[in-house]
Amino acid sequence: MLNINSVEIDSGENAPLSVYVHWPYCARICPYCDFNVYKNKPDSDLTASIIADLKAWRELTGPRKIQSLHFGGGTPSLMRAHDIAHIIETVGHVWHYCDTPEIALEANPADAHKARWTEFKQAGINRLSLGVQSFNDTALKLLGRDHNADAARKALALCAETFEAFSLDLIYGWSGQDTALLHSDIETALRYNPPHISAYQLTIEDNTAFGRALGRGDNRAVNADESANFFETVAAQLTQAGYNHYEISNFAKSGFESRHNLGYWEGQDYVGVGPGAHGRYTQNYIRHATICESNPALYSQRVKEQGIGLKDIQALSRTERSDEYLIMGLRISKGISLARYEQLGGTLNQAAMAYLIQDGFLQIRDNHLQASAKGRLVLNHLTQQLLT
């Protein structure tokens, strides 16, 4: 039975809201990337369109408190600092910021310049997420990146010098990598004492250059067993170094978890603006999934013509909503609140839950259902079992 009072927090004025801004341009398209990206070009319309889109979104969400604003992409470090400042200000005018909002930007090491990052900080960015991927030149070449190991180290040093909160991304599981090379990448990262590290397994997606290479029999990633071993190596090394493994691919020193991403995993609302951005918002107790027009020119045209950049809005059924809460929530160490899951109308397969707990894949702590370390290796399987 839906408990309206308990769910009301999802849509009230004080319910936290996050904003995601997608900047779709990159200096070059990496062969493993399946995001909505385009080769970089000057696009003065896009910032204006994003700003108009944000204003239109206010009609959908009503007044809300912003807990995080995230510039992702693509490569938002290609944006002009004054455009970033303009968007940050607009979000504050359209809604209102909480006392200490997280305002983060994803950056490419190739864009690391002291003056530029200082401008970003002055614009209001208080967290930088650096796409290092590896400190190994062979790996960076294989991954098609436009920086080398030396540039990665220099960018990370500049990041540590400029921002108190920063994160770096590493990719593991590229073909040719062994445990020693993986250790070396992590050790190099740790020298800069980053408060947050994201370590992603290289996955080969169909619609990418690596996917096409795989179709020709050329696999650029290690096999599933090696990848699982690497995952355990990463988790052990970073946990030992004092990081909290708070989400499958994310590790943080206490207090430096990504609030923006936690919002996704905990099922909070977020506005998504910019080409191809996804969003979620709750109105009258109904959660909606949104997606913007993907092509930058068509996105700007849509904003001009209809006032908002959305291509589609779907009301989620109760089952879709509770499924999403489970699938996203089991990614984080905290897990899902069983009480909230029930309030959302979800029903778990009790028999499956019992044997998965007995076999050590799941655990219940403080009325939260959590995936154990062993369970995190087979998360898709767990959620399938729980939802059958």
Subset of 131-160 contacting ligand SF4 (CB under 6 A): 131
For 76, 326, 337, 338, 362, the CA distances from 358, given in Å and listed in that order, are 46, 19, 19, 18, 8
For residues 17 and 65, the answer to whether their CB atoms sit within 8 Å is yes
For 61, 266, 338, 350, 383, the CA distances from 326, given in Å and listed in that order, are 24, 9, 9, 14, 7
Strand partners, 310: 292
Nearest CB to ligand SF4, comparing residues 74 and 296: 74
Q: Is 26 in the site for ligand SF4 (CB under 6 A)?
A: yes
Task: Return the range that interacts with ligand SF4 (CB under 6 A); candidates 55-63, 67-75, 96-104, 195-203.
Answer: 67-75
Nearest alpha carbon to residue 90 among 127, 123, 121, 129: 123
For residues 184 and 176, the answer to whether their CB atoms sit within 8 Å is no
What would the DSSP string read from start to end of 98-162?
EEEEEEEEEE-GGG--HHHHHHHHHHT--EEEEEEE-S-HHHHHHTT-S--HHHHHHHHHHHHHH
Q: Shortest approach of ligand SF4 to residue 240 CB, angstroms?
A: 29
Q: Shortest approach of ligand SF4 to residue 29 CB, angstroms?
A: 5
Q: Shortest approach of ligand SF4 to residue 32 CB, angstroms?
A: 7
Q: Shortest approach of ligand SF4 to residue 36 CB, angstroms?
A: 9
Amino acid occupying residue 232: E
Q: Shortest approach of ligand SF4 to residue 74 CB, angstroms?
A: 5
Subset of 68-87 contacting ligand SF4 (CB under 6 A): 73-75
Q: Shortest approach of ligand SF4 to residue 322 CB, angstroms?
A: 31
Element at 252 (helix H, strand E):
strand 250-252
Nearest alpha carbon to residue 130 among 192, 175, 205: 192
The set of residues, in sequence order, having a beta carbon less than 8 Å from that of 40 and lying 6+ positions away, is 25, 26, 27, 75, 78
Q: Give the integer Cα–Cα distance in Å for 184 and 167.
A: 18
Q: Shortest approach of ligand SF4 to residue 282 CB, angstroms?
A: 29
Nearest CB to ligand SF4, comparing residues 152 and 332: 152
Q: Is 33 in the site for ligand SF4 (CB under 6 A)?
A: yes
Q: Give the integer Cα–Cα distance in Å for 62 and 282.
A: 10
Q: Is 170 in the site for ligand SF4 (CB under 6 A)?
A: no
Nearest CB to ligand SF4, comparing residues 166 and 210: 210
Q: Shortest approach of ligand SF4 to residue 384 CB, angstroms?
A: 29
Q: Is 250 in the site for ligand SF4 (CB under 6 A)?
A: no
Nearest CB to ligand SF4, comparing residues 46 and 336: 46
Q: Is 209 in the site for ligand SF4 (CB under 6 A)?
A: no
Q: How would you class 189 by CB atoms within 10 Å of its CB: exposed for 0-12, middle for 13-18, buried for 19 or more?
A: buried
Subset of 100-129 contacting ligand SF4 (CB under 6 A): 108
Among residues 7, 15, 29, 209, the one that binds ligand SF4 under rule CB under 6 A: 29
Q: Is 308 in the site for ligand SF4 (CB under 6 A)?
A: no
Q: Is 35 in the site for ligand SF4 (CB under 6 A)?
A: yes
Q: Is 37 in the site for ligand SF4 (CB under 6 A)?
A: yes
Strand partners, 333: none
Q: Which residues bind ligand SF4 (CB under 6 A)?
A: 26, 29-30, 33, 35, 37, 73-75, 108, 131
